[in-house]
Amino acid sequence: MNYKRGGLWLFLSLIILSTVLLPQAAKADVKYNTFTKNSAGNLIWLQPAYIPIDVIGEDLYMADPNDPSVKTVSSMSHPKDIFIDDTNQMYIADTGNNRIVQLDSSGRLVRFITVPESALNKPEGVFVTKEGEIFIADTGNRRIVKLDKDGKLVQEITKPDSQFISDTFVFTPVKLIVDERGFLYVASQGSYEGLLVLDPNGNLQGYFGTNQTLLSAMDALKKWLYTESMYAKEVLKRPETINSLASDGSGFIYTVTGGSISSNQLKKLNSRGDNMLRSSQGTFGEYRPSDTRGLAPTAVKTPQLIDVAVDSDGNIAVVDQQFKYISHYDGNGSLLYFWGGPSAAGTSQIGLMKSPVALDFNSKNELFVLDDQENIIQKFRMSEFGQNVVEANKLTLSGFYEESEKLWQDVLRLNAEFTPAIQGLAHAAFKKEQFAEAKRLFKAAGDQEGFSESYWQIRLFWFQQNFSWIASLVLVGIFLMVALEKWSVTKRLKAKWRSRERSKNPLITHFKHAFFVLRHPVDGFTAIRYEGKGTYWSAAVIIVVTYSALLIREYFTSFSFQLVHFVNVYNVFTQFFVVWIMWVISNYLVSSIYRGEGRFRDIFIGSAYALVPYILIGIPLAIVSNVMTLSESSVYNFVSEGIVIWIGLLMFWNTQWIHNYTVGETIINIVLTLVTMIVIGILIFITVGLTSDLFSFLYEIFQEVTLR
Partner 1 sequence: MKWIKLLLTKQSLPTVIAAVLIIVAVTLIAANTEFVWKSTAGPTIVPEDEGTNFTQPEKNPVLPEESGFSKVAESDVLSLKMDAKTGHFIMEDKRNNEVYYSYPDPKYWSKEEISKTWKQHLSSPIMIQYVDFSEPILNPKELSFTPGVDSIKDLKTIDGGFQLTFELPEAGFTIPVEVTVDGDYVQTKIIREGIKEDKLGLIWVRLYPFFGATHTDGQEGYLFIPDGPGALINFKDNQLNVNKLYDESVYGSDMVYQGLDNNRSQVSMPVFGMKSGSKGFLAVLNDGEAYANIVASPSGVFSKYNWVTAQMNFRSSFLQYTRKNFADSGFVDFNRDELFGSDRVVRYYILDKENADYVGMAKRYRQYLIEEKGLKKLEADTAGVPLHLTVVGGDQEKGTLANRYIKGTTTSEAEQMVKKLHELGVGNMSVTYTGWQEGGYSAYGRTLPVDSSIGGDSGMKSFVDFAHSLNVPVYLDTEYALNNTGAGGFEKEFAGVTNLAGQTIDVRMLYNEDNVSAVSDKFNLKSVKSDLEGFKKLGIDGLVVGRTGQELFSDYNTKYGSSRDEAKDVQVDILKAIQSSLGGVQGIKSNFYSLPYVHHIQNMVSDYSYDLFSDEAVPFAQIATHGLITYSFNYSNNRDENGNGFLREIEYGAVPSFVFTHADTSDFLSAYGIRFYSTKFSDWASYAAEEYKRFNETLGDVQNQFIAEHRTLAHNVKETVYENGKRIIVNYNTEPYKYGNLEVPAKNFIVLDEEAVKQ
From the CB of 95, what's the least distance to partner 1, in Å? 16
**Minimal distance in Å, beta carbon 46 to partner 1?**
7
Q: How far is the CB of 659 from partner 1 (least distance, A)?
A: 15
Largest Cα–Cα separation, the chain: 119
Going by the DSSP 8-state scheme, the letter that residue 353 receives in this structure is: B
Is 1 or 232 the residue whose CB approaches partner 1 more closely? 1
Nearer to partner 1, 27 or 278 (CB): 27
Query: How far is it, in rounded angstroms, from Cα 389 to Cα 393?
Result: 6
Classified as helix, coil or strand, 149 is coil
CB nearer to partner 1: pick between 300 and 572: 572
Between 344 and 480, CB nearer to partner 1: 344
Q: How far is the CB of 69 from partner 1 (least distance, A)?
A: 16
CB of 39 to partner 1, least distance (A): 12
Of 50 and 646, CB closest to partner 1: 50
3-class SS string, 640-664: HHHHHHHHHHHHHHHHHHHHCCCHH
Do 290 and 20 form a contact (C-beta atoms < 8 A)? yes
For residue 6, the minimal CB distance to partner 1 (Å) is 9
Cβ 272 to partner 1, closest distance in Å? Answer: 42
In the complex, the smallest distance separating the C-beta of residue 628 from partner 1, rounded to whole angstroms, is 26
CB 379 within 8 A of CB 55: yes
- Smallest distance, partner 1 to C-beta of residue 88, A: 16
Cβ(452)–Cβ(630) under 8 Å? yes
- Least Cβ distance, residue 349 to partner 1 (angstroms): 5
Cα(339)–Cα(31) distance, integer angstroms: 10
Question: What is the rounded CA–CA span in Å between residue 468 and residue 310?
Answer: 55
We find the least distance from the C-beta atom of residue 57 to partner 1, in angstroms, to be 9
Cβ-based nearer residue to partner 1, 540 or 649: 540
| Closer Cβ to partner 1, 242 or 441, answer by number | 441
**Residues 171, 231: Cα–Cα separation, whole Å:** 29
Which residue lies nearer to partner 1 by CB, 26 or 495?
26
Question: Whose Cβ is closer to partner 1: residue 318's or residue 445's?
Answer: 445
CA distance 245 to 589: 59
Q: Are 523 and 513 in contact (CB under 8 A)?
A: no
Query: Min. distance of Cβ 103 from partner 1 in angstroms?
Result: 16
Measured on CA atoms in the order 566, 568, 571, 575, is the torsion positive or negative?
positive
With beta carbons less than 8 A apart as the criterion, state whether 151 and 111 touch: yes
Q: What angle do CA 356, 359, 365 make, to 5 degrees?
A: 140
Q: Which is nearer to partner 1, 88 or 205 (CB)?
A: 88
> Of 30 and 196, which has the nearer Cβ to partner 1?
30
| Nearer residue to partner 1 within complex by CB, 42 or 281 | 42
Residue 645 Cβ vs partner 1, minimum distance, rounded to whole Å: 31
**DSSP codes, 656-699:** HHHHT--HHHHHHHHHHHHHHHHHHHHHHHHHHHHHHHHHHHHH
For 320-335, letters b (16+ CB in 10 Å) and e give: bbbbbbbbbbbbbbbb
Question: HEC string of 575-643?
Answer: HHHHHHHHHHHHHHHHHHHCCCCCCHHHHHHHHHHCCHHHHHHHHHHHHHHHHCCHHHHHHHHHHHHHH
Minimum distance of partner 1 from residue 496's CB (angstroms): 45
Q: Which is nearer to partner 1, 566 or 638 (CB)?
A: 566
Burial class (CB in 10 A: 0-12, 13-18, 19+), 597: middle
- Strands 143-147 and 134-138, sheet pairing: antiparallel
Distance CA(62)–CA(215), nearest Å, equals: 52
Q: CA–CA distance from 232 to each of 204, 212, 222, 559 (Å)? A: 30, 19, 11, 48
Phi-psi domain of 336 (left: phi exceeds 0; alpha: psi -120 through 50; beta: other): alpha
Paired with 266 in beta bridges are 256
In single-letter form, the type of residue at position 143 comes to R
Residue with Cβ nearer partner 1 (77 or 162): 77
Q: What is the DSSP letter of 234?
A: S
Q: Is 522 exposed, middle or buried (0-12, 13-18, 19+ CB in 10 A)?
A: exposed
Spatial separation of the C-alpha atoms in residues 294 and 276, rounded to whole Å: 36
Taking the complex as a whole, how short is the minimal distance between the CB of residue 90 and partner 1, in angstroms? 18
The phi and psi torsions of 31 (rounded to 5 degrees) equal: -90, 15
Q: Is the CB of 21 or the CB of 663 nearer to partner 1?
A: 21
Interatomic CA distance for residues 44 and 21, integer angstroms:
15
For the bound state, the minimum distance from the C-beta of residue 630 to partner 1, rounded and expressed in Å, comes to 25
The nearer residue to partner 1, 86 or 700, going by C-beta atoms, is: 700
Least Å distance between CB 682 and partner 1?
Answer: 12
List Cβ neighbours of 675 (8 Å cut-off, separation of 6 or more).
none
Q: Which is nearer to partner 1, 25 or 225 (CB)?
A: 25
C-alpha 633/C-alpha 610 separation (Å) is 26
CB of 67 to partner 1, least distance (A): 19
572 vs 667 by CB, closer to partner 1:
572
Q: How far apart are the first and last CA of the chain?
A: 38
| 38 SS3 class | coil
